[in-house]
Amino acid sequence: MRDSEVLVTHHKALMELSHNIGFIEMPRPRKLAALVELCTRLLGIQRASVWLFPPERDRITCEWLHDEEQPGHNSCVKEENTGYDLFRSDHPEYFQAITAERVIAVEDAPNDPRTRSFHQGYLSVQNIHAMLDAPIFDGEELSGVICLESHEHREWSVPDISLAVAIADTISLMNTHEAWLRSKRALEYVRRYDSLTGLANIDSLRDRLGHLLRKIKRRGAGSLALLWIDVDRLKTINDGLGPQAGDQVIADIGQRLRDIQLAGKDFIARIGGDEFALVIRNYTLPGFLIEVTREIQERIRQPIRVSDQDLNVSASIGICHFPGDCHEPEELLRGAEAAMYHAKRQGRDRSTLFDSEIQTTARSRFALESELREALKSNSLDVFYQPIMDRTGTHLESMEALVRWQHPQRGWLSPIEFLDVARSAGFMYELGACVLRSVCSHWREARERNIPLPTISVNLSAEQVLVPDFPELVKEICDHQEMPVEALQFEVTEDSIQGDFGVIGRVLEKLVEAGAELAIDDFGTGYSSLSRLKYLPFSRIKIDRSFIKNLPDDEDDCAITLSIIGLARGLGLFVVAEGVEHKAHEAWLFEKGCDYLQGYLYSKPLPFSEIIGRYYSD
């Protein structure tokens, strides 16, 4: 038979094998076994094997062996003197050849310079005289070889080499597919599970609830309860000991919830920063569930060792049933969350069953969330401005932009009435962008009227400073309204900079590089690592109003305010006092060297038209 006919026959056999659905669904070892057996049968040789380079690349290790003379010896279990690890240091010529030449066709293996180093410990033991090796890849990396071995001297033909290369390429494609599957599984894990606790996340919980509710509806029997578990006062731990301590507490509680044995326990997930959910099936009578929540709370109350000290934490729990309280998975989630918030309002470390009163409150909250979503889509939130004065209280230095919402039915809503809804619904990033667009629009309007506005301060949320692309959004919004970024100052609370320091640092640096200034808002009420403040590009500190309101009569507030002013001086920062309401505040702060003043003594927050009329009227 001519070489061309042999080549076609070989490749036809390989295609029939590799494209067979049975082969495709085989695990890797069985695929390798089928491929190397095909080699020995088509080429009439005695041995065929697959070898791998480990990460160190200092050797090749046999992954699979087919030996016609030892039918039962079809794997690479190591035995004494069988040579299933071949080291680069012992065989440098071979390793150089497989790396450079890729295909090694050797007729006389014991005497060929590339393979003769194998003779004493391998070739002579296995009675091998001819070798044909072809490279296997994992992506672009050389990851192994397929090795065909004959007990006779053999001149390898073009069809022989072609088949060896084709089978090596088939294994390379297997590697690529397996790498894709591993990547897919890793991505699926990231998408479906919480990295800190290893528990399922809220997306997985939604899927599980959907499956269980459909099952109960289809059968017309069964019930479940969802317990929404919120760790009380985790923010206090983060503020006092840092976010790593908070993470340790969450990880510990996650493990306790995983380990707890409860009748009907079906599924557990971490659904937020300090929140977990537990699904109970069938065991859903109120009395039993109250006992369950007591047991959960007792487990959570057990001290948690963090930084060489014992922390005592508690949890508030809300419970919602299906059927009875709701009809759909999302309603079950909302109901359990609403019950949990009700428990918190009752004094924390409590549990509450969802009822009609909670339902009414929850519906109002959900309605407000829907209306806020529409307000953001239509860009119908308002921005008011409060002046920031120089230390004498006579000159307008800058203005702080503050979001307001004129609700169609409820009238003016202050931020305290809707920001919590925005945060729990995941709207904070979008809300911040909406405020910035309004500020830029007002600035452009003032410029067109030849009104020289001072620097405008805009508050940033944690949800914004943790997004790497946020500075690009700022530049895009400013460019659209032809407003220079230099006309902006961004205010960040202490709590907002407790996340990923690398991300936060880069975001804030990019804002400063674009021309904006930065201020720490509400200083003194959160947890700030001075090392963080030292390395972040702030230019001013705003003292929280709670330290100003009792000046100059309260000695503690005087001491705290003076220490903040001294700290700012040491760091080269300007100081703004918030909540200045009386002349006595102004006089004391002026005397102590505070740079800027803000408060109702000068003005409450005003709509844009009124702030322009007050400070820029002819």
| Nearest one of 301, 418, 442, 430 to 376, comparing CA atoms | 430
Could you say which of 3.40.120.10, 3.30.450.70, 3.40.50.300, 3.30.450.40 is the CATH number of the domain covering 3-189? 3.30.450.40
Q: Does 135 sit behind a cis peptide bond, omega within 30 degrees of 0 on the bond before it?
A: no
What is the fold, at CATH topology level, of the domain defined by 369-616? TIM Barrel (3.20.20)
pLDDT score of 134 more than 60 = yes
| CB within 8 Å of 188: residues ≥ 6 apart | none
203-255: per-residue pLDDT in tens? Answer: 889 999 999 999 999 888 889 999 999 988 777 677 567 778 888 889 999 99
What's the DSSP call for residue 133?
E
Tokens of 49: 């094997």
Mean pLDDT taken over the chain:
85
| Residues in contact with 360: Cβ distance below 8 Å, sequence separation at least 6, in sequence order | none
> Does residue 465 surpass a pLDDT of 90?
no
Q: Which of 22-36, 229-243, 503-517 has the lowest mean pLDDT?
A: 229-243
Comparing C-alpha atoms, which of 164, 170, 138, 140 is closest to residue 26?
Answer: 170
Q: Is the entire prediction scored with pTM above 0.85?
A: no
Q: Which one, of 59, 5, 44, 222, lies nearest residue 132 by Cα?
A: 44
Q: What is the CATH number assigned to the segment(s) 202-354?
A: 3.30.70.270
Q: What is the mean pLDDT of residues 95-110?
A: 87
Tell whether the model's pLDDT for residue 338 goes beyond 50: yes
**CB under 8 Å to 308, separation ≥6 — which residues?**
none
pLDDT for the residue 496: 73
The percent of residues in the chain predicted with pLDDT above 70, rounded, is 92
Chain centre to alpha carbon of residue 489: 28
Q: Which residue has the higher pLDDT, 488 or 345?
A: 488
- Domain coordinates of the chain in residue numbers? 3-189, 202-354, 369-616
pLDDT (average), residues 61-81: 67
Residue 541: closest CA among 517, 505, 515: 517
* Phi and psi torsions of 540, nearest 5°: -150, 160
- Confidence label for 6 from pLDDT (cuts 50, 70 and 90): confident
Rounded (10°) CA dihedral 213, 215, 221, 226:
-30
Helices and strands counted in the chain (H then E)? 21, 23
> Residue 83: CB partners within 8 Å, gap ≥ 6?
118, 121, 122, 125, 126
Q: What is the pLDDT of residue 363?
A: 65
Query: In this predicted structure, what is the pLDDT of residue 3?
Result: 75
Residue 556's alpha-carbon distances to 548, 562, 586, in angstroms, are 11, 10, 18
% of the chain exceeding 90 in pLDDT: 31
Pairing of strands 455-460, 411-413: unpaired
Predicted confidence (pLDDT) at residue 424 exceeds the cutoff of 90: no
**And the tokens for 459?**
């508050």
pLDDT of residue 82: 42
What is the average pLDDT across 12-27?
A: 85
Joined tokens for residue 52: 């791998």
Please list the residues that pair with 231 across neighbouring strands: 315
| pLDDT one-digit tens code per residue, 263-276 | 999 999 998 888 99
**Alpha-carbon gap, residue 290 to 577, rounded angstroms:** 49
Has residue 362 got a pLDDT over 70?
no
pLDDT at residue 295 is higher than 50: yes
Mean pLDDT of 353-380: 77
Distance between CA 64 and CA 199 in Å, rounded?
A: 37
More confident residue, 158 or 236: 158
How confident is the model over 470-504, as pLDDT tens digits?
999 999 999 998 999 999 999 988 767 766 677 88
Q: In a 3-state reduction of DSSP, which class is residue 370?
A: helix
| Nearest CA-CA partner of 199 in 266, 249, 268 | 268
For 223, 253, 480, the CA distances from 243, given in Å and listed in that order, are 38, 15, 37
Q: What is the pLDDT of residues 524-554, one digit of tens each?
A: 655 444 556 677 889 999 998 888 988 998 8
* CA angle, residues 612, 614, 618, in degrees to nearest 5: 80
pLDDT for 23: 85
